A and B are shown apart, each in its own frame.
Chain A
Amino acid sequence: MEAALAFVVGMLFAVAIYLLLSEHIIRMLLGLVLLGNGVNLLIFAAGRASAVAPPIIPVDADVPSAVTANPLPQALILTAIVISFSFFAFLLVLAYRVYQDLGTDDTDRMRLAEPEDDDLPPLGY
């Protein structure tokens, strides 16, 4: 099970990094989403996936009666999902605003902050 998950995680990372190397913001955004999902699966695999009972304690007991699945990775993933979703929403709005205001989603053509014709400081006075 972990081997299959590891393979999926590797594929997601490869695709994500390929997309992140693009110069278009929209493709980078998709890469970021895939990267986030790859990480979530990685944490899931790190907590060991196996076919055991869910971590639910019976009403009349203090401790689980049998071997149960590890609930901690799910808590970590839930946190990571919420965070990456909110950041994706922010970046999506930012990218749209950039497209509206700068008229491009090509990062190579976004040179407003670092103009290409910026000259050196004066050498003397």
Chain B
Amino acid sequence: MATPGLSPELLTAATLTAPVRLANYLVALPVVVPLLFASGLLMMRGRLRWQPAVAIAGMTVLLVINLLLLRRVASEGPQVMMMGAWKPPFGIAFTADRLGVLFACAAAVVALACTIHAAATVSLQERRYGFFPFLFVMIGGVSGAFLTGDLFNLYVWFEVLLIGSFGLIVLGSEHRQLDGATKYCFLNLIATTFFLVATGLVYGLFGTLNMADIAMKARSMEPNGEVVTIATLMLVAFGMKAAAFPLNNWLPASYHTPRFVVSALFAGLLTKVGVYALIRVLLMLFPAERGGLSMVVAGVAAATMIVGALGALAQSDLRRFLNYLVIAGIGTILAGLALPLPLSSEPTAGPLQAGLSGAIFYAVHSMVVMTALYLAASLMTRRADSASLHEIGGLWRSSPLLAAVTLVLLIAVSGLPPFSGFWPKLMLVQAMIGGGMGWLAAVILLSGFLQTIACARLFALAFWRPAPAVDRGTDEPGAMAAAGVRAAAVSIARVMAEGRSEPSMLPLLVLALLAVAIGLWPQGLASLTGAAAGGILDPAGYHLSVFGGAS
């Protein structure tokens, strides 16, 4: 398509003349701050002992910025910043709507908790290899993906977060890790390439990459096979990133191999970015085509839930168990995206909105609780000196606080009241029954039941039962005492030499308190996710904020 000749009037009309409002820079700050800290930390290679404090400060700043942005978006609607003062749809738009900012806030909470945990557990050598810079690059990519309003830009942020995550997953270079990293890297790179294919097709068909523009053009377009192809490709690409069945096998092959804190970050953030992109692209950009794919999404969601729950039942390694719980959670979220299109002309009411609201709620809950569970697994493994359910035991006696917190988290992840997992599941089940998909509601409950069994068994084995007698080659009390003294000496020496110490319970406690608070006072978050779902299903406000009513 050749560009038609532009008159000077058109050219001046293509750029914004008014200076960007200072307040609008807030939209870009959640990306700018992590990238600034990443480069700053990279320059602090000679001051490895200062890095954790700087990193915690950076994450705190990010969280405050995201909360400020959330307050503004919740009261004033979507906020936009056009890059380089180009008018939409020519320039890259950063558009912060309720969905994106809500996810960004949850991501910042999770990232801060993980950074505090990492400050105690990441050794000096791992810091020298760039743990904290990689962490901030990944968080910058995640924030960018949540806030961008441009499809190609979304691809770029996906790649930014991928390269950060590649750096984190291979950190340590154990053989197990290299194996897991190979599978993780290949599959994720293929998924983003598929997304790029779909993006190229979108540009060929619509001639624009601005999401608000695409959403309006797709709504006014006659239904045709090309858009269905694009929507299906997007479903495959983001389904792969979100670890939806049958493209889920990379996740249980890799998420248990890196450092615990890296697992926690990945479980909390990366699959949820895939879910976010699915919601953004399928429900906001191509709603009619998504309606046609409704049964496919429903089948994928059901299979993902069952595979996740059954997989969790069969694992004896703590983190491999949690990997499958992540997958089951993804299935539950996808169920909320599966409802058929509403028949009434009112797009923002009815079961679809309720289901989407429940899915967003569940995603936020899952980010907090899954991260907390991996951090709990980190502490359990440290205290029991093993990650296998065959060997852990008796932790209730030795660490009662950890046991209590883990119990809360396990109940929350199973979806039992009164914690954070219950309400979104209730919303989802109600929406499924209201939308005529009772069988999917039954699958959600069945999967929840299986997860409850798996979690209850984990708790019974790791905490309740007395510590099993594992033959470690030291039977005599004297030898054991000597071994204990030696181990203590080694650990003290390690703390001195590597900058590691016993991680505090603080981040875990805060995340668990969040899960309890969401469970006891769900109304605030539920109204926010309801508004976010409404903004996705009826993007008029999103479009207005980008184009200012002109277009």
Contacts and interface: CB of A to CB of B under 8 A. Distances in A.
Interface of A: 20, 25, 28, 32, 35-36, 39, 42-43, 45-48, 50, 52, 55, 62-70, 72-73, 76, 79-80, 83-84, 86-87, 90-91, 94-95, 97-98, 101-102, 107, 110-114, 118-122, 125
A64 B201 contact: no
Given A46-B204, A47-B203, A113-B176, A68 B316 contact: no
A35 B178 CA distance: 24
A16 to B, nearest CB: 9
B186 A28 contact: yes
Contacts of A70: 1-3
Interface residues of B, number: 58
Given A94-B182, A112-B176, A122-B389, A63 B201 contact: no
Contact of B163 (A25, A90, A94, A111): A90
A28 B177 CA distance: 19
A17 to B, nearest CB: 9
B398 to A, nearest CB: 17
B4 interface: yes
Nearest to A17: B190
B317 interface: yes
Given A39-B200, A64-B6, A86-B163, 8 more contacts: A66-B5, A67-B5, A90-B185, A94-B166, A113-B179, A113-B256, A121-B315, A122-B461
B182 A25 contact: yes
Given A47-B203, A48-B2, A62-B8, A119 B316 contact: yes
A59 to B, nearest CB: 15
A103 to B, nearest CB: 10
A94 B316 contact: no
A67 B166 contact: no
A32 B256 contact: no
Nearest to B252: A114
A32 B189 contact: yes
B100 to A, nearest CB: 22
B1 A121 contact: no
A102 B179 contact: yes
A63 B8 contact: yes
Interface of B: 1-8, 10-11, 152, 156, 159, 162-163, 166, 170, 173, 175-183, 185-186, 189-190, 193, 196-197, 199-201, 203-205, 252-254, 256-257, 314-317, 320, 389-390, 393, 457, 460-461, 465, 468
- Per DSSP, chain B at the interface is helix
Given A46-B204, A90-B163, A110 B152 contact: no
Q: Which of B166, B186, B314 has the most CB of A within 10 A?
A: B186
Given A20-B190, A35-B190, A121 B390 contact: yes
A101 B178 contact: yes
Contact of B193 (A39, A90, A125): A39
Given A94-B185, A97-B178, A125 B465 contact: yes
A83 B190 contact: no
Contacts of B180: 113
Contacts of B197: 39, 42
Given A20-B190, A98-B179, A63 B2 contact: no
A87 to B, nearest CB: 6
B3 A113 contact: no
B203 A76 contact: yes
B179 A67 contact: no
A86 B521 CA distance: 46
Given A91-B186, A98-B182, A121-B389, A48 B1 contact: yes
A120 to B, nearest CB: 6
Nearest to B197: A39
Contacts of A36: 193
Contacts of A87: 159, 162-163, 189
Q: Which of A68, A70, A83, A101 has the most CB of B within 10 A?
A: A83
Contact of A113 (B7, B257, B314): B257
Given A39-B200, A70-B1, A97-B178, A113 B163 contact: no
Contact of A69 (B2, B315, B457): B2
A122 B185 contact: no
Nearest to A36: B193
A122 B156 contact: no
A83 B159 CA distance: 7
Contacts of A80: 196
